[in-house]
Amino acid sequence: MKKVPLYILLILSASGYIYSQNDLTYYITQAKTNSPLIQDNKNQSEASKVEVERIKALYTKPQVTFNAGIAVAPIINKDNGVTQFQVSPSDATNYFGYDIAASNGGVYQAMFNLNQPIFNAGKLKMASEQVAVANQINQNNVKLSEHDIEKIVGDQYILCLQDLKQTDYVKQLSQLISEQKLVVTKLVESGLLKQSDLLLVSIEQQTQLNTLALFKSTYRSHLMDLNILCGINDTNLITIKDIDLIINTSINQSAFTDKFKLDSLNLIASQKIFDLKYKPQLNAFANVGLNGVYVPTLPNRFGLSGGLNFSIYLFDGKQKSLNKRKTDILIKSTQSYKLNFITQNTIRKNKILTEIMSLNERMLISSNQLKDYKQLLEYYKKEVITGQQSVTAYITTVKNLASLQRDYVLMQSTKQLLINTYNYWNW
């Protein structure tokens, strides 16, 4: 294979035309890599792992806090006929201010507190299960997003290929007309054909060149849309590779139904979390530090304490059973959505297969017609030279061929789109 000189590559690069080829796999990979939605779901999955550690700490690890506070209740003491202001009274009897029996004259605290949950293994398990279900939902969302990308990018890629094939067909027709124009020019110069015949060929040549420019512009526009869709920062005009999608029949159960299963599991996990508050709660606590009410004796009020704290719900208006009924109803709704999807998807896939079969029949007929038209053009080329056929008939045949080729490319693209759609739903 000959190497392209460097200066030619530089010229092509400067003009925006790079003769390289990318395939569908490349664009799908780029789209998945650059998708913020996929990245967000992956980050959510990573965050779920951290959440499990947080929940473990909440239910099993001790909590240590430091609390400090001061509250004073000053009075105006009038004992012994002397009026005086006291910040921390102890034994006043005739005074104005808060009742010393209620306020103790003030509170002075500075304590370290420890709270240790006990017997929380069951709660930890249930809470971890909910986080695990949430993580599965995020992972499933990644799968669904990637599958959506394969469908969307595939459709846009097929649209680009349609423009490219139309361009190739028009190039071939333009080449045929250019060759015929040379023949007609010689025949006009020899007086065997009229000048109007040459003009007719020239007009058709310009028509095809205009059509060629249109398809090139459309291809560039659709290619840029493909780059935008995939997050590719590239404005060069390249030639993408052709594809021939095949129908995917190797599937037993639709992956779309995983969503409904996970929704049900999430509802069940939420119900279990709701039920946690009805389980007995036992905590051990301890504190150490300063706790006093009278300033002069504060140096002697450093100490410690400890104990157990037990709590359990006795009655809350039957909220537990009501929430269980609500969860059961929502699960039934999820199952209804699942059954409806399965029914619709079965009909949808059968419809697509029927359309593909119909297209195959039409494409077979069109393919035979294209062969006949090309053979007819070969006959007309010879007959125009011998005067047995008019240039008008030749041009009319060229136009019919161009129209048939465009229809054939559209049928090819439609078939690929249908296969891409079928493979999307048959997943």
pTM value is 0.80
Interhelix angle 121-189/391-425, nearest 10 degrees: 170
pLDDT given for residue 224 in this prediction: 96
pLDDT given for residue 145 in this prediction: 93
Domain positions in the chain are 6-64+119-286+316-425
pLDDT given for residue 317 in this prediction: 86
Distance CA 326, CA 9 (A): 68
Single-letter residue type at 326: K
Written as tens digits, the pLDDT of the chain (427 aa) is 344 444 444 444 444 445 557 899 999 999 999 999 999 988 988 888 888 888 888 888 899 999 998 888 888 888 888 888 888 776 788 888 888 777 777 788 999 999 888 888 888 888 888 888 988 998 999 999 999 999 999 999 999 999 999 999 999 999 989 988 998 899 888 888 889 989 999 999 999 999 999 999 999 999 999 999 999 998 999 999 999 999 988 776 788 899 999 999 999 999 988 888 888 888 898 999 988 887 778 888 899 999 998 888 888 888 889 999 999 999 999 999 999 999 999 999 999 999 999 999 999 999 999 999 989 988 988 888 888 888 999 899 999 999 999 999 999 999 999 999 999 999 8
CATH superfamily, domain 6-64+119-286+316-425, is Outer membrane efflux proteins (OEP) (1.20.1600.10)
Query: Residue 352 corresponds to which tokens in the numbers above?
Result: 């697509």
